[in-house]
Amino acid sequence: MAMLVRPPRLKLATLPARYWVVAGQAVVSATSFLTNIFLARLCGLSVFGEYSAWQMVLLLALAAQGALITQPMQIVYGQTPSSQHLAYRQALLGIQLLFSLVAVAAVAAGATLLHYATLALPAFLVCLVTTCGQDTARKLLLAEGRVQLALLSDVVSGGGQLLLLLYWAATKVTPTLPAVLWAVGLTTAPALLLSGAALGLGWGRPMLRQFMASHWQQARWLLPTVLLQWASSNALLVFAGWTSNVATLGILRLAQTIMGLFNVGLQAAENYAMPRLSQSFYRQPAQFRQERTRLTRTMLLLAAGPILLLFLLAEPIVSWLHVGSAEYAYVLRWCCLLYVIILLVYPLRLTVRLLAHARPYFVGYVLSIAVSFALARWLVGHWQASGVVLGWIVAQMVLGLYWALAVWRARSSYENEEYRGLAAESL
C-alpha cells in the first residue's frame, strides 16, 4: 500500500518578496478606505469634507516627497555601493528632515494667509510629519529588501488607527476634526519609530550634498509630472470645495473612496499586462492589438457587475453612510459612468506608456487639466458636485482622444521607417 506523502508546508519566511509587498500595499489601501468610510459615517459629510481638504494637502505633500525623495531613492540606493549605505541612510534622514521643515512652514504659512489656521492646524502638522516620515522609512525598508518589517510597520500604523475608529464607533462618539487628525498622526508615530529603529537611522552629514545632487537629477523631471498628476485628480475638487460647501467636497471624496476599489484592479491589470504588451508592441503589431482588445474586453466584463450594482444601489449606500444624504446618490451614479470611460481609455494609457518618449503622456494630462479648468466654473455652477464628476469625464475623454492620436502617429511613423528600411535593403 502506497504511503501518503504529506505535502510540504509553505513557510511564511520563504514567500517571495512580491507577496509581502502586495500585502503591505493592501494594508495601506484598506486602512485608507475603511478610515474614510468610518469618518463619513461617524462625523457627517461636513466634517468629512473638512478632513478631505486636509487630506488633499497631505496627498500633495506625499506627491512632492515621492518626486524629491522616495522615487529617486529607489534608483540612487541601487547605484550606491554597500559600503556607503549607512552614509546614504544618514543623508536620507537629513533630506527628509529638510523636506518636513519646508512642508510644515509652507502649510502653516498657507493656512495663515488663507485665514484657515484653525484648531486643526497643529494636529495636521503632526500628521504631516509622521505620515511623510513613515512613507519614506517603509519605502527604504522595501528598497533594502526588508519586506516583512515594512509590512509590520504598515500593520502597526493601520491597526492602531482602525482600533481607535472602532472604539469611537462602539461608544457612539462623534469625533471632532482635530481629534481625527491627532488620531491619524499619533497612531502613525509608533510605526515610524519601529521603522527608524529597524533602519538604525542616525544623524550625519558626510555625503549629504552628494546624495542631494543625485536625488535632484531624478527629481527635476519627476516633480512637474507628479504635481501635474495631483492637479489632474484634485483641481476640480479644490475648486468645488472653494466655491461650494464642505459637504459637497465630502460627498465627492466619499464617491472617490468607494470607486477607488476599482483602482486596485486597474493597477493589478497594469502590472500584469505591461510586460506582455511591451514584448509585442513593435515586433508583432497584430498580436499587440489582439492582446489589447482582449485586455479591454476582460476589464469591462469583470467591472460590469460591480459598476451596475453600485449604480442601482447608490441611494441606499449613501443613505447608510450618512443619514439624510440620499440626494447625493446621483454623484455616485455619475462616477459609475466615469469609470466606464476610464476603463475604455485605460488600454490607450498603457499603449502611450510603451512609446519611446513620454511627451504624449505629459501633454495629455496638460490638455485634460486645461479643459477641466476652462469648464470648471460653468460645470460646478450649474451642477455642483455632479459638475465635478462631469469635468472628470470630459478630462478622460480629452485624454483618450489625444492619446489615440498620439498612438496613431507613432504607429504610422514606425511603419514608414520600417518601409523605408525594407526599400533600402532591396536596392
End-to-end CA distance of the chain: 74
Predicted pLDDT at 366: 87
CA dihedral 154, 159, 164, 168 (to 10 degrees): 120
Helices and strands counted in the chain (H then E): 14, 0
Per residue, what are the HEC states of 209-247? HHHHHHHHHHHHHHHHHHHHHHHHHHHHHHHHHHHCCHH
Predicted pLDDT at 423: 45
Q: Which amino acid is at 358?
A: A
C-alpha grid cell, residue 359: 511627451
Q: Taking the model in full, what pTM does it have?
A: 0.80
Query: Cα angle vertex 270, ends 269, 274, to 5°?
Result: 120
Q: Which residue has the cell 484598506?
A: 30
Phi/psi class of residue 357: alpha, beta or left (left: φ > 0; alpha: ψ in -120 to 50)? beta
Q: Mind listing the pLDDT tens digit of every residue in the chain (427 residues)?
A: 445 555 555 566 666 766 787 788 788 888 988 999 889 888 888 888 899 989 999 999 999 998 898 888 877 877 778 777 788 888 888 889 999 999 999 999 999 888 776 789 999 999 999 999 999 998 888 888 888 888 899 999 999 999 999 999 999 888 999 999 999 999 999 999 998 888 876 655 567 778 888 888 878 878 887 888 888 778 788 877 777 777 788 888 888 888 777 776 676 666 566 666 777 776 777 788 888 888 888 888 888 888 899 899 888 888 887 656 666 888 889 989 998 998 889 888 888 877 767 678 888 888 888 888 888 888 888 888 888 889 989 999 999 999 999 888 887 776 555 545 544 444 5
DSSP state of 328: G
Alpha carbons 169 and 16: distance in angstroms, whole number: 37
Query: Cα angle vertex 170, ends 165, 175, to 5°?
Result: 50
Backbone angles phi, psi at 8, to 5 degrees: -65, 140
Predicted pLDDT at 323: 55
Alpha carbons 181 and 121: distance in angstroms, whole number: 9
CB atoms within 10 A of CB 75: 14
Candidates 227, 192, 211, 195; CA nearest to 75 is 211
Q: Is the dihedral of CA 276, 67, 107, 26 positive or negative?
A: positive
